[in-house]
Chains A and B, each alone.
Chain A
Amino acid sequence: MASLTLATIVALTSWAAYLVATRRIGLRRSELRGAATEALAYLGLAVVFLLVNLAVGTGLILGLRALTGHFISVYVVNDATLAILSLLQALVLHCWRERPR
């Protein structure tokens, strides 16, 4: 039920955004497919950041454990904020890449 509710909300707001974008802002419908493809590339970048963050985090924790003998839990990296920060990292890099070189 919760899944259906969330999907309905997102479908409704996406439809509303589509109407505003095409009728008020004047965006071309033909460009939507390209935009979605570009969004996938941005998501891919976020996945790369997330994987690297997880690998570096786990490596650091295991390294510190071995070097200091002090216990640090690997579960520290199992945190939703890491995914959000990875999205942010990808967004900044994506926007930076779009700017004139």
Chain B
Amino acid sequence: MRGLRILGAIGLLLFAAAAFTPLANNLNAWMAGSPTLERSDAIVVLGRGGADTDGVLTNRSLRRVLRGVDLYGDGLAPLLVLSGSAEEIRARATLVRGFGVPAAAIVSGGPAYTSVEEAEQLRRLLLPLGKRRILLVADPIDMPRGRALMERVGFIVFPAPTAASGPSQPESRLRLGCDIIIELSAWAYYRLSGSL
């Protein structure tokens, strides 16, 4: 009983800290690091969450692809590489064409469902073309793992995280807190399995 009370108190404290303090925002910004927007061979937009059955991208996938379009518009690279599941790539390609990115500048990897698969697909796609310097677009919390995986397969990575300040609403902060815990678990899993 005493153990349960202590666990309950810890749970309550974590809930309060995640929802009502900037803890999750600070962790988010810390994990994002500083963006390095250098001219590169390609802008790589990593997949996140896929698309619904009606082809609508998830919030995070949409944020990433918009960031990619923005960087392309700034002329930081001649190629916009879209990664993710088959549905996600299709929905993203339709979207970026709608934003006026020419079809010749859009490159898609094969469908990939995990970060390791994505890194491998992108290695096979870009390195033989001599495209080694990449601007990597990912959420702030996914950047450390995404960057490490890309560097491991041979890319020179310049991080371009999506907005790093994080949300201000308690519910969104709570959601971000959960995502951070999951991302740290994924990082630990990749380390243990030798993928990192």
Contacts and interface: CB of A to CB of B under 8 A. Distances in A.
Contacts of B169: 2
Contact of A47 (B8, B114, B179, B186): B8
* Contact-residue bracket for chain B: 20 to 34
B71 to A, nearest CB: 26
Interface string B97-135: 000000000000000011000000000000000000000
Nearest to A78: B182
A76 to B, nearest CB: 11
Interface of B: 1, 3-12, 19-20, 49, 113-114, 168-170, 175, 178-179, 182, 186
Interface of A: 2-3, 6-7, 37, 39-48, 71, 73-75, 78, 80
A48 B4 contact: yes
Nearest to B10: A47
B9 A40 contact: yes
Given A2-B170, A3-B20, A78 B5 contact: no
Contacts, number: 54
B182 A75 contact: yes
Contacts of A2: 168-170
Nearest to A62: B189
A20 to B, nearest CB: 24
A75 B49 contact: yes
Chain A contact residues: helix, strand, loop or mixed:
helix
Contacts of A71: 113-114
B4 A44 contact: yes
B11 A46 contact: yes
A41 B170 contact: no
Nearest to B111: A71
| 10 nearest CB pairs, A to B | A43-B8, A44-B8, A44-B4, A44-B7, A40-B8, A47-B11, A71-B113, A41-B4, A40-B5, A3-B20
A78 B178 contact: yes
B3 A44 contact: yes
B168 to A, nearest CB: 7
A9 B170 CA distance: 14
